Structure 1
Amino acid sequence: MPLSHDMLLSLTAVADLINSAPETGGPDWLTDVAGLEAYLTRHRVSGIETVAAADLTQVRALRATFHELFASPDAATAVRRLNVLLDRTPITAHLTEHDDFPLHVHYFAPGSSVADHLAADFGVALAHLLVEGEWERLRTCAAPDCDKVFMDESRNRSRVYCDSRTCGNRMHVAAYRARRRA
């Protein structure tokens, strides 16, 4: 999969953003400005000077939009949904080097809100994934009690659980116990 490091970082960050939603079963850490600031720091999102309460509200709405994108039943639906997002997002391509990353492209417009910043970078990363024919790498965990999303980076596209140590291990143990009972 020929995606650059910043595209992979964006795809990982958008999955983490989606997984903060209560409907995915994880803890909602996007409840206050401090949680949003921690998220931006954790994912090394650059170019954001200040974060306000209005940004939190907008990013929470954006999180729901991205969740709908990941839940698209097929690539054609994902394309339609992504185009709606990209049509309303101010995008300006800009080459940059920062934080020991090699030269790469940022897509957010200067002075844009936090939500527009994330919509531009994450939306373009998802667009590249669609163009490369890799949409099926965006997955929802196969564990019946987990709705978290993840990016399958495995070579043969075989990953089915959001985390092999938690959901994967739990499901493998359950399958083993079922085989032993049979």
Structure 2
Amino acid sequence: MFNPEINRALIAASDLINTAEGLKSAKPSPDTLDSVEGLSVYLHEREPELEWPTTTVNRRQLEKVRALRHKLQTLWSAAPVIEPKELDIINDLLDGVGIRVVAGEAGEGSAFRERPIPISDQISDVMTATVAAALSYLVTNEETGRLRICRGDDCEASIVDLTRNRSKLFCDFGNCANRAHVRAYRARQAARKDDEETSGPVRPRLTKPSAAEKADQLNRPTSATAIAAKEFRDRMREELMQKRQESSKATKKV
């Protein structure tokens, strides 16, 4: 949706939040960022284009990254409306971060773009600069509505909607979308059942029978009166035909 660097940064930020303990698609998920090894695993799973170093990972850096995660959780929970206190968080993250202009990546709409310059090469500072720049872009372009919490019941996963039509509502941890669709279907069925119990079953719309259907109904009577009427008509028709045949024979003899 945005330029590749911003997209990567927002996805990485969302994934960082989801390392915290909580419910993911109705299943408890532990804190996977509770050790230096956990931070190393998280970093190795990032896209290499982020250029996030893993050589500076240590206990102190782990604590700083965990602090960054907490701030991101606050921002995601506040979106799409960013209040002054959330803006203060973003501005604090941007403190000391510089900007340089670089050539755009292949496929971008612009030949150039801005890249943040961290205050140091420590992993926490590099992550902070990258993510803070992406968040400031969302704020200034009024796109913070793309920062969301999964709509699934019993799910606390953070997501970022990078679709053009803003259609992403559920996380990718499990079957939140399918569970939501099933619940909606059952709710509609229950509402329909309640309506039928209140006002009776929905009656089919009456349609006017065609001429052929009317004729067929006359030839296949169902009530006793209709059957008797049909027998009378058939008997009168037979008597009339018999009289016509006798009259015709008498005429031929003469």
In which range does the TM-score fall when normalised by the shorter chain?
0.7 to 0.9
Check the 8 A contact 1:161/1:168 in 2, yes or no.
yes
Does 1:76 find its partner at 2:75?
no
Aligned partner of 1:41 in structure 2 is 44
Aligned partner of 2:235 in structure 1 is none
* Structure 1 residue matching 2:116: 3-state secondary structure: strand
Check the 8 A contact 2:119/2:125 in 1, yes or no.
no
- Aligned in 2, Cα 1:58/1:164: closer, same or farther, shift over 3 Å? closer
Cα offset, 1:93, TM superposition: 3.2
Work out the number of aligned pairs and report it.
Answer: 176
Higher relative contact order (CA 8 A, sep 6+): 1
Q: CA RMSD in A?
A: 2.5
Q: Deviations over 1:25-54 (max 9, x none)?
A: 433211211221121121134152321111
Aligned partner of 2:30 in structure 1 is 27
- Aligned in 2, Cα 1:21/1:165: closer, same or farther, shift over 3 Å? closer
Q: 2:68 aligns with which of 45, 62, 67?
A: 62
For 2:187, the aligned partner's letter is A
Aligned partner of 1:153 in structure 2 is 162
CA distance in structure 1 between the partners assigned to 2:130 and 2:71 by the alignment: 14
- Percent of pairs with identical residues: 33
Stretch of structure 1 that moved more, 4-13 or 137-146: 137-146
- Aligned in 2, Cα 1:127/1:173: closer, same or farther, shift over 3 Å? same
Q: TM-score, normalised by structure 1?
A: 0.83
Cα offset, 1:164, TM superposition: 8.6
For 1:158, the aligned partner's letter is S
Does 1:16 find its partner at 2:26?
no
Check the 8 A contact 2:101/2:115 in 1, yes or no.
yes
- Aligned in 2, Cα 1:24/1:120: closer, same or farther, shift over 3 Å? farther
- Aligned in 2, Cα 1:19/1:68: closer, same or farther, shift over 3 Å? same
- Aligned in 2, Cα 1:84/1:27: closer, same or farther, shift over 3 Å? same
1:74-113 alignment, distance < 5 Å = 74-77=81-84, 78-87=86-95, 90-94=96-100, 106-109=115-118, 111-113=120-122
- Aligned in 2, Cα 1:104/1:168: closer, same or farther, shift over 3 Å? same
* Structure 2 residue matching 1:39: 3-state secondary structure: helix
Note the residue ranges of structure 1 that are not aligned, 5 or more in a row: none
For 2:98, the aligned partner's letter is T
Stretch of structure 1 that moved more, 157-166 or 37-46: 157-166
- Aligned in 2, Cα 1:20/1:180: closer, same or farther, shift over 3 Å? same
Note the residue ranges of structure 2 that are not aligned, 5 or more in a row: 107-111, 194-254
Aligned partner of 1:5 in structure 2 is 4
Structure of higher CA gyration radius:
2
CA distance in structure 1 between the partners assigned to 2:119 and 2:37 by the alignment: 23
Stretch of structure 1 that moved more, 108-117 or 152-161: 108-117
Check the 8 A contact 1:137/1:151 in 2, yes or no.
yes
- Aligned in 2, Cα 1:111/1:84: closer, same or farther, shift over 3 Å? closer
Aligned partner of 1:136 in structure 2 is 145
* Structure 2 residue matching 1:127: 3-state secondary structure: helix
Check the 8 A contact 1:108/1:118 in 2, yes or no.
no
